[in-house]
Structure 1
Amino acid sequence: MLKVEGLYAGYGSTDVLHGISLTVPKGKVVSLIGSNGAGKTTTMRALSGMIKPKRGGVLLNGKSITGLDSHRIARLGLAHSPEGRRVFPTLSVQDNLLLGAFPRLSGNRPKGNVREDLESAMELFPRLKERRRQLAGTLSGGEQQMLAMARAVMMRPDVILLDEPSMGLAPILVDEVFKIVRKLKAQEVTMLLVEQFAAAALDVSDYAYVLESGRIALEGPAEKLKGDSAVRAAYLGGAH
């Protein structure tokens, strides 16, 4: 379980987040929706150690990970599929996936059967199976997004942060990405999802938070928020 308590974070002297609190229960999908500039990606970066929180706390399975470096947070079980994909372009698809399992191969996470999980990831993301020997930098944008997601899955984390998985994708690929999110949900993979298509995010989520100007403005079961008139007017009218 991931728990965030009174988190303040930002860049330089500017705070972007102003005391946000949220919880991601084990086996659930929680979405964080809001307009551009609301602080969604900053939240993800603060949770995964890409930036250091200024105040507040982040707990993973009851243990504080506040302010730890990203590699230490990953070893403790938090995987981040970041906005913009950030694959290793000069490595093959398969090698990118094996890098996702590095904490397991280096003894920092339970090892399990990495080769078996590699094949399972290929089955979950069949486009990657077809291109397993191809350099990641030559993949399409949608394929790179799937690779970033699969790489996070390969760590066998306790929680996955998915930051804007549909960004820049054609509608047919957006649908494919969300089908995969649903498959992960069916496997009870715990996820915190940041997504520009609020309707799609709420459809796949158990619970949701609405972020406005760095503060949690509203929260509740995803199905309830879908029916909220203010949420519909602000985020769902033109959503996918």
Structure 2
Amino acid sequence: MLSIHNLHASYGKVEVLHGISLEVPQGRLVTLIGSNGAGKTTTMRAVSGMIRPRAGTVTLGGRDITGLDAHRIARAGLAHSPEGRRVFATMSVTDNLLLGAFPRLTGKRARGDVAHDLERALELFPRLKERREQLAGTLSGGEQQMLAMARAVMLNPDVVLLDEPSMGLAPILVDEVFRIIARLKADGVTMLLVEQFAQAALEVADYGYVLENGRIAVHGPAHQLKTDPKVVAAYLGGSHAH
């Protein structure tokens, strides 16, 4: 469904990604783990059109989307829930969610039943349902994170990119975010998850890739990576305490 081949990306003259390749098959949850600065967020930005790759290809459902503008990539069916929960602070929760469906409302993407999907999103994220009329800027950080995730789902996308959904959240909210990710997976939503909590990511994922210094160091079924001695030592043991 989403295929990344030999992707190079940089900021200015500094190359961050040195030719990474990965596959996100339809209906699967794939996770990308690695230490801070390994290039995880850069990968997401290069895939979703926030930055332009220097080389390599990104295809979505067989269509080449490499280097397209972000709004065209969204129309093609790729939704990005970026790190740092960028929500529209002066708009209500409901209006933020409807903005996620904007390409559907303007005929750029199959419309489907937007009202039904809005209700489904609010069922999936009960905290948002309670606050549907509130301005997004008045939500807690955890609630804004859930709003960013729910907004991505409102595109009715082929693939969702989730970039650090647990960043900065209290442990109880981290658990809730991962429960929601598991629900989306059970519903057959195709996802690429970048996550600092490698253990939690590998628990929920089908397949994992470990990114080190802009290169894929190891990859395999998530249950194998959870017991791989090198992965355990670097990401799952005590060594990644901050």
TM-score of Structure 1 vs Structure 2, range by shorter chain: over 0.9
Structure 2: 5+ residue stretches without partners: none
Please name the residue that 1:228 is paired with. Answer: 228
User: May I ask how many residue pairs the two structures share in their alignment?
Assistant: 240
Please name the residue that 1:194 is paired with. Answer: 194
SS in 2 for 1:97: helix
Alpha-carbon distance, 1:23 to partner: 0.2
Alpha-carbon distance, 1:10 to partner: 1.2
1:203 aligns with 2:203: yes
TM-score by length of 2: 0.98
RMSD: 0.9
Alpha-carbon distance, 1:14 to partner: 1.0
Please name the residue that 2:101 is paired with. Answer: 101
Alpha-carbon distance, 1:71 to partner: 0.1
1:153 aligns with 2:139: no
Partners of 2:141 and 2:160 lie apart in 1 by 20
- 1:65-117 deviation line (CA, Å, top 9, x unaligned): 00000000000000000000100000000000000000100101110110111
1:181 aligns with 2:178: no
Once the two structures are aligned, what percentage of the paired residues are identical? 74
Alignment of 1:1-240 (within 5 A): 1-238=1-238
Letter in structure 2 aligned against 1:147 = L
Structure 1: 5+ residue stretches without partners: none
Partners of 1:201 and 1:120 lie apart in 2 by 24
SS in 2 for 1:165: coil
Letter in structure 1 aligned against 2:149 = M
Partners of 1:52 and 1:99 lie apart in 2 by 24
Partners of 2:236 and 2:44 lie apart in 1 by 22
Partners of 1:181 and 1:164 lie apart in 2 by 12
Letter in structure 2 aligned against 1:206 = D
Partners of 2:181 and 2:237 lie apart in 1 by 23
- 1:198-227 deviation line (CA, Å, top 9, x unaligned): 000000000000000000000000000001
Partners of 1:175 and 1:164 lie apart in 2 by 14
SS in 2 for 1:134: coil
Partners of 1:190 and 1:50 lie apart in 2 by 20
SS in 1 for 2:88: coil
SS in 2 for 1:57: strand
Partners of 2:55 and 2:121 lie apart in 1 by 37
SS in 1 for 2:66: coil
Alpha-carbon distance, 1:120 to partner: 0.6
Letter in structure 1 aligned against 2:82 = P
TM-score by length of 1: 0.99
Letter in structure 2 aligned against 1:87 = V
Partners of 1:13 and 1:55 lie apart in 2 by 14
Partners of 1:91 and 1:8 lie apart in 2 by 37
Partners of 2:86 and 2:119 lie apart in 1 by 22
Letter in structure 2 aligned against 1:144 = Q
